[in-house]
Amino acid sequence: MANKILLFGVILSGVLIMASCDKNNTTPSEPIDSGNDPNFKIVAHSDNGFSSFNRKVVVFGIDIYAGTAIEDAKLLHASNVLAQYLDNDEDGIVDNPLVMDKMLENKAFMVMWKNENELNIAPPNGREGQDLGNDETHPNFVSNGKIGEFDATLEEVLHLINNAGHSYAYPQAFGQNIGSDLANAMDLARGGRFITIPAAYPTDAWFTYDDETCDYESCQTIEYLYWALTSILGAQENRINEIDNEWKLNTRQKVEETDLAIFSLLTNPLYKMPTVLPDGTYRH
């Protein structure tokens, strides 16, 4: 699977991560046709820096912007997945208020695009975001038994939460830097501390991502966190033939038995990590 992360407004292979300031110059949002979703409304907006995205959904204060060609069903799907990751027991209350607070401080956002040129945007300084493509969003993946085209919503939404939330809320545990618990676990998973991509990973490594545009701290750590958590949640259980060039522990059992460090970190109740894979239907 191609990594797509953008840090501080620099696009690397297609994903987006930006930092941002405030939205004091926005105008009130107006409802537009939202289909029949019981929880979320699609609204028009005029937020600074997002003029090419004609509508959005707000989930627990987090904006998800959509371009004109984005299907409403896919925008609402992403909204439901975000809600389920943040409120995993679906009781209407965010599971980890500290992570939520950090996301709001960072004015986290997502943008959904149809063509990559739509990512040529300039949000206000201080906003941190992630992108998701219309054609990589597959709402039926989980309901189809986690077979067929993978739903990248499960990845990109999690990247946003980890980047804008966990890494700020728990820097010693999830900091994107050498020496954090996450980075130390990743060093074990890669068979060594490789600041740059090695010519070949050790044969006993189980995280072997080799995109040279993916740096050690802001990219490799977040990719590793994604692979480990979604494998624990069951998203990768039928995909080993697709992903083993990057990640070999595609089930909860494999992570628990082999990657003791990351399993212990992600199942520590202190961090209130999701325990149920989102299916795109937030039931609160």
Considering only CA atoms, which of 11, 112, 102, 114 is closest in space to residue 64? 112
Domain contains 82: yes
Question: How many Å apart are CA 83 and CA 54, to the nearest integer?
Answer: 22
Are 244 and 265 in contact, with CB atoms under 8 Å apart? no
Domain contains 284: no
Q: For 64-100, what is each residue's pLDDT tens digit? A: 999 999 999 999 999 999 999 999 999 999 999 999 9
Q: Which residue has the higher pLDDT, 23 or 106?
A: 106
Domain contains 277: no
SS3 249: coil
Domain contains 134: yes
Are 50 and 29 in contact, with CB atoms under 8 Å apart? no
Average pLDDT, the chain: 90
Domain contains 283: no
**Strand 10-12, strand 30-31: pairing:** unpaired
Q: How many domains does the chain have?
A: 1
Q: Is pLDDT above 70 for 35?
A: no
Domain contains 157: yes
| CA angle (35, 40, 46) in 5-degree steps | 95
Query: Half-sphere exposure of residue 259, counting CA atoms within 13 Å on the CB side?
Result: 36
Domain contains 278: no
Q: Is pLDDT above 70 for 33?
A: no
Tokens of 264: 């212990």
The H or E element containing residue 130 is strand 129-133
Does the reported pTM lie above 0.75?
yes
Tokens of 22: 């405030």
Domain contains 282: no
SS3 75: helix
**Which residue range forms the structural domain that includes residue 129?**
5-271
Q: Is the dihedral of CA 262, 101, 157, 111 positive or negative?
A: negative
pLDDT at residue 24, rounded to an integer: 36
Once rounded to an integer, what is the mean pLDDT over residues 48-55? 94
The H or E element containing residue 156 is helix 153-161
Residue with tokens 């083993």, as numbered in its chain: 244
pLDDT at residue 36, rounded to an integer: 72
